[in-house]
Amino acid sequence: TQLLEQSPQFLSIQEGENLTVYCNSSSVFSSLQWYRQEPGEGPVLLVTVVTGGEVKKLKRLTFQFGDARKDSSLHITAAQPGDTGLYLCAASGTSYGKLTFGQGTILTVHP
C-alpha cells in the first residue's frame, strides 16, 4: 500500500499570511491531485500534476510536483478566510484503482 503523508495536519493562520502544505511519500506516482473539502460537502478537485518538476498556479495557489514524483506541495499566498477547509492530496501509482489519499490538512484562516 502506498502511503501519503501530509503535513502539517492542522494549520491556523491570520488573513494575509502565506502557507505551505506538504504531501510526501517513498513511492513514485504517475500523477497527484489536490482537493479542497468544506464541512458537510464532498472534495473539490483543485489540480492534477503529472510531470516531475511541474508547477501549476491557480490564482493565489501554487502547486508543485517533485522532480522524482514522490512529493508535492501546495503554497497559498496571502491567505483569506475563504481558503479555510480540509486540503487533501491523492496520488495514483501504476496499479489501476489504487488512488491513495493523504489524511488531509485542516486549514483555518482567521480574519
Residues that bind another protein (CB under 8 A): 1, 30-31, 33, 40-45, 48, 50, 88, 90, 92, 96-99, 101-104
Instruction: Tell me whether residue 32 is exposed, middle or buried, using C-beta atoms within 10 angstroms of its C-beta: 0 to 12, 13 to 18, 19 or more.
Output: buried
6 vs 64, beta carbon nearer another protein: 6
Shortest distance, position 17 Cβ to another protein, whole Å: 26
Shortest distance, position 104 Cβ to another protein, whole Å: 6
Shortest distance, position 15 Cβ to another protein, whole Å: 27
